[in-house]
Structures are given as C-alpha cells and as structure tokens.
Amino acid sequence: MIRPHGSDFLIPLMVENPQHHAALQAEALDLTRLIINSAAAANTVMLGAGYFTPLKGFMNKADALSVATDMHTADGLFWPVPVMNLTENGDRITAGSRIALCDPNVPGNPVIAIQEVAAVEKLSTEEVNLIVQQVYGTTDQTHPGVATFGSLGKFVVSGPVEVLNFSYFETEFPETFRTAEQIRTQIQACGWKTVVAFQTRNPMHRAHEELCKMASEAVNADGVLIHMLLGQLKPGDIPAEVRDAAIRKMVELYFPSNSVMIAGYGFDMLYAGPREAVLHALFRQNAGCTHLIVGRDHAGVGDFYGAFDAQTIFDEAVPAGALEIEIFRADHTAYSKKLNRVVMMRDAPDHQKDDFVLLSGTRVREMLAAGEDLPLEFARPEVAGILMDHYARETAEVA
C-alpha cells in the first residue's frame, strides 16, 4: 500500500488506550480551558484521525509562515497549508503549560484534546496578510476562507496534542465518518491496490458520477473512494446529511457493487483552491489512495482562481517526490447532446457550448427550490428527488 506522507506508518493522535484516556479526562478538570474555534477543532479531528500524518500537533509561527511562503515547515517537511490553533486572547496561556482544548461545535463545549503548549506567539497584521495572500491567493474579505481566517485571532498556540474524541462527526455520521486508518484497513480488506479518490463538498450529479468511472478506467483502479467533507461550509451549500443520502443512493443504483467506498472526514472547507487541492492530495495519500481526481476549479469559490490552477500547482509548486499520490487531471465534464453520453469537454473539440447540457449551480438551486425536475442528462432522478425534498423542507421552514 502507498506510504503515508513523510512517514513509514500512519500517526493518528487519537488516544486509544482506555486508562490513558481516562487519566487525560481527569487531568483536564484541573487545566486551563480554551474554547477553540471551529477551524482549530477541525484541525484537531484531522490530527486525531491520522489524515495530517506526520504532524504531532499545531504549528508555531515560524512553521506557519514557512508553510505559507514555500510549502515547507522550517525543518523541511512538505506541507501546503498552515495547521494552527489560533485564538483571540493568549494572555491566559503560557509556554510549558498543558491546556484543555474545548469543542465549540458540541453543546457544553466538552474537551476534545489536551495540548502541551510549546509557545504562544502573536501574528502581526502584516504576517496575517502574508499567510492569507499566500494560502488563498487574495486578501479580499468577500472570499469565505479569507473572512474566516481573519476572524480566528492572532495568537498562535503551538505544540503537540493528544486527541480525546472526534467532535460531532462520529455521532452525527456514524455510517460515514472514517479515520485514515479505517479507510486503509478497508482498502486492504477489499484487496484493492490502485484506488482513486474523489473529493466532494457537493451532491454528485451525472457528470461527477461519470468522472469517477472515467478516472477509474483510465488508471485501471480496483476501486473508488468517494470522500465527502462533513464539516463547516459557507451559507447556501448543501448540508452534509443531504449530500450523504444523495451520494449513497447514486452509488447503490448506478455503480457496480463493491467498486466504491463511501466515507467522510471531519474538516471545515477552506475554499483555498490550489493550496487546498494539494492538501486534499496529501491526506488522501495518508488514507491509502494512489490517485486523486483534481477537476476544474477544485476547492475554489467564485472567480478567485483560474479553472485549472488546482492542477498546475502540482507542476509549478510541488517538488518532485514530495507526494507519492498521483493526480488524475479532469476537464469540465457534461452530457453531450451529440454523443448522448457524458464526456470531458476537452475530448469533444467539435462541440459548441449549446451541444452540452450545462446548468449553473444557481440555476440548479432555483429549479430544486421551485420543485422543477432536473434534466435526466444532468442528474439521476433518485438523486434529484432527495435534493428536491431538502429544498422543499427549507422553503416550508422559511414560510
């Protein structure tokens, strides 16, 4: 199986030993409590689940700035996006102490991890802007990722963590949330050697379905991992439980049996375009996948990134050998009226725009909200029905 990133073995930071877990829970009662933000909680879950192998905890300022500027930590580990515990007030926290990190996304703010504080450092406004510009490619506050980062605080609390739970992900998505180790175990149980990962924060329409099949055939894959983000999204995106139901129905009806693994991971969407695409590749390698589909405007938002910037970054900024996972580069995929099938647009050079069935995300949402059927060439009817029910419930709640 493909090696994890930067290590010969996976390094999940979840405390599995029952006695040690109980001891940490008891210790937490006497520690300074820090209610972290959702971004730090998501980072904690990813550290606990092994997706962020080989990191042992949160980065310090030097590592964060180094990662932002040239995608390496200060000691040379390739990493595309800073992994930080940022807070608005670091006055109560001192280097050398141990603190209880408390979950902002669960009622009562239970302890999600114990952190050993290596340092507490403050980012200057210039350093915040540098990180934002390098990671997101813009400082425009209308970019949801930029706006979120700017709200997290300027104090960097670095140091190793011991994770006690996976926040709300295990309880709310028991059939879907999986750690990197669990996915690796399932891949081995299936006997798969070549595995293509598909990242999604949206429901999957016909084009996504066919793209997975095209990529699988192109690399002669043994199976496909449909790996959905379960964390926080921007307003207007489809909730995770609706996406989960729609994807499961599509796989049940339209993929060969035992050819697809459905799983989810506990991370908040960054909308960081190219940098996030590299991060997606890294943690899919940690999950045991050999290939990641990177499509048009992967992890993008609005018009902040070029259509294929998330592909060219692997040529222009990722050093050779930095990642073992391979990238399957996809073009925009749509149903061809001429050919009566879904194709990648680059494979149909004789087509004009009107030769494809194309619907914008806005138009799709309008049709679903109005109870209109989506074209069969665009969406499987069973998937469209699940989405239509969601929009009908939303409309009824507003009314």
In the numeric block, the tokens 């997101």 are attached to: 136
Write down the pLDDT at residue 371. 86
Q: Which helix (H) or strand (E) holds 235?
A: none
Per-residue pLDDT, averaged over 84-112, amounts to 96
**Sequence letter at residue 218:** A
CA distance 153 to 337: 51
CA distance 390 to 234: 17
Active-site amino acid positions: 201-202
Mean pLDDT computed over every residue of the chain: 94
> How many Cα neighbours within 13 Å face the side chain of 135?
30
Write down the pLDDT at residue 398. 60
CA distance 196 to 216: 6
Q: Per mean pLDDT, which range of 191-200, 304-313, 375-384 is the poorest? A: 375-384
CA distance 1 to 289: 8
Beta-sheet strands, E only, within 194-351: 195-200, 223-229, 260-265, 291-294, 326-329, 333-336, 341-344
- Under CATH, which architecture does the 18-167 domain have? Roll (3.10)
Note the pLDDT tens digit of each residue in 366-389.
Answer: 888 888 888 899 999 999 999 999
Note the pLDDT tens digit of each residue in 249-299.
Answer: 999 999 999 999 999 999 999 999 999 999 999 999 999 999 999 998 999
Q: Residues spanned by CATH 3.10.400.10 within the chain?
A: 18-167
Q: Which CATH class is domain 174-265+271-398?
A: alpha beta
Most confident segment among 36-40, 204-208, 341-345 = 36-40
Answer yes or no: is pLDDT of 308 > 90.
Answer: yes
In the numeric block, the tokens 């149903």 are attached to: 335
Tokens of 189: 């149980």
Output the CA–CA distances (angstroms, integers) from residue 44 to 72, 121, 217, 345, in the order listed: 20, 19, 36, 39
> How many Cα neighbours within 13 Å face the side chain of 219?
26
Tokens of 27: 């210790």
Write down the pLDDT at residue 25. 97
Per-residue pLDDT, averaged over 34-43, amounts to 98
Write down the pLDDT at residue 399. 55
Q: Residues spanned by CATH 3.40.50.620 within the chain?
A: 174-265+271-398
Q: Does the pTM exceed 0.85?
A: yes
Q: Are 389 and 365 in contact (CB under 8 A)?
A: no
CA distance 166 to 266: 8
